[in-house]
């Protein structure tokens, strides 16, 4: 279960839960980009590894 908005706010984060059951028409283009090495992701925040445990603890 993902953390709620209040839990995230305490840690200074925002977020929302997303649930999806994508079909082939959604998965195939993503898989093709991954296979071609052209898949890109938007990274909002990069944290030092030393903070990983604290940031994962809010889950």
Give me the pLDDT at residue 15, please: 81
**pLDDT for position 4:** 80
Q: What mean pLDDT is reported for the chain? A: 84
Cβ pair 17, 2 in contact under 8 A:
yes
Expressed as residue numbers, the domain containing 22 is 5-56
The contacts of residue 30 (CB under 8 Å, 6+ apart) are 39
Number of domains in the chain: 1
| pLDDT band, residue 53 (cuts 50/70/90) | confident
Closest C-alpha among 9, 16, 12, 17 to residue 45:
12
pLDDT at position 29 is: 93
C-alpha dist (Å) from residue 10 to 3, 7, 25: 11, 5, 38
pTM across the whole model: 0.45
């Amino acid at each position: 279960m993902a953390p709620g908005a209040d839990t995230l706010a305490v840690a200074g984060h925002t977020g929302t839960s997303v649930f999806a059951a994508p079909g082939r028409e959604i998965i195939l283009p993503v898989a093709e980009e991954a296979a071609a090495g052209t898949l890109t992701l938007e990274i909002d925040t990069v944290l030092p590894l030393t903070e990983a445990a604290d940031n994962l603890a809010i889950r």
